[in-house]
Amino acid sequence: MISKADQTFLAKKGISVQQVAEQLQTFKTGFPFLPIEAAATIEKGVIAPSAAEIDGYLAAWDAYCAAGNKILKFVPASGAASRMFKDLFSFLSASYDVPTTDFEKNFFDNIEKFAFFADLDSACTKNKGTGIKELIAAGKYKDVVFNLLDFTGMNYGSLPKGLLKFHSYDNAARTAAEEHFVEGALYAATDGKVQLHFTVSPNHKALFQELVAECKARYEEMFGVTYDICFSEQKQSTDTIAVDADNQPFRENGALVFRPGGHGALIENLNDIDADIIFIKNIDNVVPDRLKPDTVTYKKLLAGILVEKQKQAFEYLRIIDSGSYTHEQVMEMVRFVQQDLMCRNMDIKNLEDCDLVLYLRKKLNRPMRVCGMVKNVGEPGGGPFLAYNQDGTVSLQILESSQIDMNNPESKAMFENGTHFNPVDLVCAVKGYKGDKFNLPDFVDKNTGFISHKSKNGRELKAMELPGLWNGAMSDWNTIFVEVPLVTFNPVKTVNDLLRDVHQ
Give me the DSSP letters along 274-335: --SEEEEE-TT----GGGHHHHHHHHHHHHHHHHHHHHHHHHHHHHHHHT---HHHHHHHHH
Within a 10 A sphere around the Cβ of 50, how many other Cβ atoms?
8
pLDDT at residue 114 greater than cutoff 70:
yes
Nearest to 340 by CA among 396, 301, 385: 396
Is 0.85 surpassed by the pTM of this model? yes
Residue type, 68: G
Q: Are 471 and 85 in contact (CB under 8 A)?
A: no
User: Beta strands of 332-424 (E only): which ranges?
Assistant: 344-345, 368-375, 383-388, 393-399, 420-421
Nearest alpha carbon to residue 427 among 166, 100, 19, 65: 65
Tell me: pLDDT of 324 over 90: yes
> Tell me, what's the pLDDT at 380?
64
Neighbours of 131 (CB within 10 A): 16
**Sorting pLDDT into bands at 50, 70 and 90, what band is 79?**
confident
As a whole number, mean pLDDT of residues 34-55 equals 95
Is 90 exceeded by the pLDDT of residue 331? yes
User: What mean pLDDT, rounded, does the chain reach?
Assistant: 95
Once rounded to an integer, what is the mean pLDDT over residues 345-351? Answer: 85
pLDDT of residue 143: 97
pLDDT for residue 80: 83
Confidence of residue 428 (pLDDT cuts 50, 70, 90): very high
Contact 235, 202 (CB under 8 A): no
Helix or strand run (H / E) with residue 213: helix 205-223
Burial 366-400 (b: 16+ CB within 10 A, else e): bbbbbbbbbebeeeeebbbbbbebeeebbbbbbbb
- The pLDDT, as a whole number, for residue 287 is 97
Average pLDDT over residues 401-421: 90
User: What tens digit of pLDDT does each residue of 268-291 get?
Assistant: 999 999 999 999 999 999 999 999
Q: Name the percent of the chain lying above pLDDT 70.
A: 100
Q: Provide mean pLDDT across the span 17-35.
A: 93
Specify whether the CB–CB gap between 80 and 160 falls below 8 A: yes
How many other β-carbons are positioned within 10 Å of the β-carbon of residue 411?
19
Measured CA to CA, the distance from residue 174 to residue 8 in angstroms comes to 45
The pLDDT of 57-76, averaged and rounded, is: 96
pLDDT of res. 154: 97
* Boundaries of every domain in the chain: 4-68+241-254+284-503, 90-159
pLDDT single digits (tens) 121-135: 999 999 999 999 999
Q: pLDDT grade, residue 422 (50/70/90)?
A: very high
Mean per-residue pLDDT, 323-334: 94
450-475 average pLDDT score = 92
Helices (H) and strands (E) in the chain, counts: 15, 22
Residue 236 DSSP SS3:
helix
